[in-house]
Structure 1
Amino acid sequence: MKRYLILSHRYLGLGAGLFLLLIAISGSLLVFRPELETLSGARPPASSHPVAYQALADAVLARYPGASFSLRFGERGDPILARLRRPGDERRLWLDPASGRIASDARSGESTFDFLLALHEKLLLGEAGEALAGACGLLLAILAVSGLVYWWPKAWRRAFQLRRNKGARLLMSDLHRLSGALASLLLLSAGLTGAYQAFNKPINNAINRLYGYHAPAKTRARLPAQGGRQPLDALVARAAAAMPGARLVDIRYEAKPDRPLLLRWKLPGELHPNGRSQVEVDPYSGALLRVTPVDRAPPAIRLTSWIYGLHTGSLGGDALRALLALAGAALAFLAGSGSYQWAARKRKQRGGRKSAPAS
């Protein structure tokens, strides 16, 4: 059985090695995206004196009148990310939290980290690439389990040995097995959670159907006979009263006049780093149209919070993020060392055939 196991492990790894290498490198960098963006100057520094919400919306609308956009908030004082949507144009704007000034404005997909995210999630191949990345996640889980089973020693005193004086191929083989064994649980988790996220729509729909969940009807704002939208800060305050103790994460501002203002919150104890609790507000009257704390969200949303937190490392803070980055580096090494072993074995076989005496 071990022979068939190692053969399947070898050729599955070779087949998916390049894709896994790309996913591993991009994922290791994305784990620390906020810190790296700040170091590179792509996002402005934090400020302890945040500006009013309406001033942020006014800054976006002054540059892009009539646009729909969202404002994403981190911890208090962090820079604000505006994601803007217009026909044929999507942009990412960083706003200074102290002045509301637009610090950077770029088309979505143009930054280095947008490129890395597209590489990690879709291998730069669109929807087909997303399915391929999900399949690679499942393959990674299989490789992690099969490699661990193959490594599992009969004598534990030899479990962590490295044959340093037996040549480069055997040393690389030992390093490959040992690093794979040490990183196996993290790689298994990364593979399964990554596959879940790639195929989340059909999986989530199936989970919601299983629990008998039916999506409620869309809410609509009532256009007044006269007057316009209420100030954004007043609307946020009205919604905050329905989410006591929660932190505002996102404001979605729709250009269509009958669309409500959608506010996303993170309640104490929520697992998702961006929260999954929502309040919909009529932007004209200030009436609360729908309040959906996370415990009343669709069943699949609650599962997704666990999955997303595990995959990005946010569930375990900086320690888990560091471990995931190391696991990504280990995966890159495994892809390279596995290919090296296969090439070295082929060279040895060819050398053996050449040296064999002619009959």
Structure 2
Amino acid sequence: MLPIVLAAVTGMLLAYQPWMERWLEPQHFGVRDDGGEPLDARGALAALREAAPRATLHEVIVPENGARRPYVAQASTIESGGQEQWYALFVDPYSGAVTRRSGAAPMGVIEHFHSTLMVGQLGRYWLGGSAFLLIPLTIVGVYLWWPIRRGMLQRFVRRRDALGWHQVLGLLSLPIVLIIAVTGVTITFYQQAMPLLELATMSASRPDRPVVRSPEDNRADLNSAIRTVEVQYPNARIAAFGEPRAANQPYVIRLRYPGELHPEGWTEVYLHPSSLAILGEFNAFDHSPATAYRHSFVFWHTGDMLGRAGRAVWSMASVALLIMAITGFLHWLRRGRGRSMRSRGRS
């Protein structure tokens, strides 16, 4: 029960991560909408280039329209000693101000506790195993509840005991708890889970990104790559972009089309690093069920697939899971105490 309780508490906090980041790191996440037009992807890129001209921008996440969130870039620089230093850059979409964070994020401590219990791989497997056991426990709970389902609400209103809370909260949060458990198992046992899912769904593995066979020295700039995609895909919004690490790798730009649930879109576009010719595109949702799940299970785990409402509902499900763990334990103690008293009475 302990791993489930700890995961529920930290999961509840992580559900409010966007708001907590604005409180804990206002210098990075304190975006204020001044009523002006926010920067587009190329405007944010220009601000990043001006603030960090030597940085390699590996991935830049574009905030959703109307969201009070900065552009977040994972960047690195080769220092004088030849070592690569990694850091995060943040761009205010209204002022264009750029800030840098080199150390660990405050919310990273909660994320680390949520995924490892601060004890490394042992805690990771402990949590993953608990999430795996939560799946059959949920199914058994439904099986035990089914014969006594009639009059459940009336009994709950009349008695409001531990069992009543357990049943009502379990019924309300059942689908979300199962989603959290399944995706949690996937996060922990990713290398084992994905091949099994591909086999079960008869899905083809995700193809590798295209490789540039004859790379040229004169690599086009990232701004031109973004502009090319904007012209070629006018109906899509750029969700993320970045620079290739090697000369034979393409530019990769992620797109999100209107109506898509995925916060970062299902589509990747690949451009030749020199000519900016479109080398191809890949849509994870259309490729196969396993690839669609691979591309989205983290966002299902956090509730981000359903936006702000999803995070709020997932937070309430975490609270329900915490209460269910406690009430289940109390009901078990009560039944054990009752059996003990009946045994002493017979003797």
> What interval of TM-score do these two structures reach, taking the shorter chain for normalisation?
0.7 to 0.9
Change (3 A) 1:58 1:297: farther
Contact map agreement 1:271 1:306 (CA 8 A) in 2: no
- Say yes or no: does 1:23 pair with 2:19: no
* Within-5 A mapping of 1:1-359: 17-40=1-24, 41=26, 42-45=28-31, 47=33, 48-50=37-39, 52-59=43-50, 61-62=52-53, 65-76=54-65, 78-85=69-76, 89-107=85-103, 110-154=104-148, 156-162=150-156, 171-208=161-198, 210-213=202-205, 215-216=207-208, 218-220=210-212, 223-224=215-216, 228-294=218-284, 297=287, 299-305=289-295, 307-342=297-332
- What 5-or-longer segments of structure 2 have no aligned partner? 78-82
- What 5-or-longer segments of structure 1 have no aligned partner? 1-16
Displacement of 1:218 = 4.2
* 2:59 maps to amino acid: S
SS in 1 for 2:151: helix
* 1:34 maps to amino acid: P
* 2:93 maps to amino acid: P
Displacement of 1:140 = 1.7
Contact map agreement 1:272 1:308 (CA 8 A) in 2: no
1:103 and 1:50 mapped to 2: Cα distance? Answer: 16
Contact map agreement 2:210 2:249 (CA 8 A) in 1: no
Displacement of 1:333 = 1.3
2:281 and 2:99 mapped to 1: Cα distance? Answer: 33
1:164 and 1:90 mapped to 2: Cα distance? Answer: 59
SS in 2 for 1:230: coil
Q: Which moved more, 1:81-90 or 1:229-238?
A: 81-90
How does the TM-score come out when normalised to structure 2?
0.78
1:85 and 1:156 mapped to 2: Cα distance? Answer: 60
* 2:74 maps to amino acid: R
SS in 1 for 2:279: strand
Contact map agreement 1:79 1:95 (CA 8 A) in 2: yes
2:345 and 2:198 mapped to 1: Cα distance? Answer: 64
Contact map agreement 2:238 2:253 (CA 8 A) in 1: yes
Q: What per-residue deviation string (whole Å, max 9, x for no partner) do you get for residues 199-250 of structure 1?
A: 344333345563344734642385545xx54343221011233434111111
2:231 and 2:191 mapped to 1: Cα distance? Answer: 32
Contact map agreement 2:212 2:249 (CA 8 A) in 1: yes
Displacement of 1:75 = 1.4
1:326 and 1:275 mapped to 2: Cα distance? Answer: 26
Contact map agreement 1:71 1:82 (CA 8 A) in 2: yes
**Equivalences, count:** 331
Change (3 A) 1:123 1:220: farther
Contact map agreement 2:55 2:75 (CA 8 A) in 1: no
Give the match for residue 12 of structure 1: none
RMSD, matched Cα: 3.5
SS in 2 for 1:161: helix
Contact map agreement 1:271 1:309 (CA 8 A) in 2: no
Contact map agreement 1:189 1:310 (CA 8 A) in 2: yes
Displacement of 1:341 = 4.2
Change (3 A) 1:281 1:21: same
2:149 and 2:247 mapped to 1: Cα distance? Answer: 71
Displacement of 1:18 = 0.9
* 1:25 maps to amino acid: V
2:320 and 2:288 mapped to 1: Cα distance? Answer: 36
1:73 and 1:95 mapped to 2: Cα distance? Answer: 10
Give the match for residue 80 of structure 2: none
Contact map agreement 1:219 1:260 (CA 8 A) in 2: yes
How does the TM-score come out when normalised to structure 1?
0.76
Contact map agreement 1:147 1:181 (CA 8 A) in 2: no
Contact map agreement 1:194 1:311 (CA 8 A) in 2: yes
1:189 and 1:334 mapped to 2: Cα distance? Answer: 16
Contact map agreement 1:46 1:79 (CA 8 A) in 2: no
Change (3 A) 1:300 1:229: same
Displacement of 1:325 = 1.3
Contact map agreement 1:44 1:95 (CA 8 A) in 2: no
1:296 and 1:320 mapped to 2: Cα distance? Answer: 23
SS in 2 for 1:124: coil
* 1:145 maps to amino acid: I
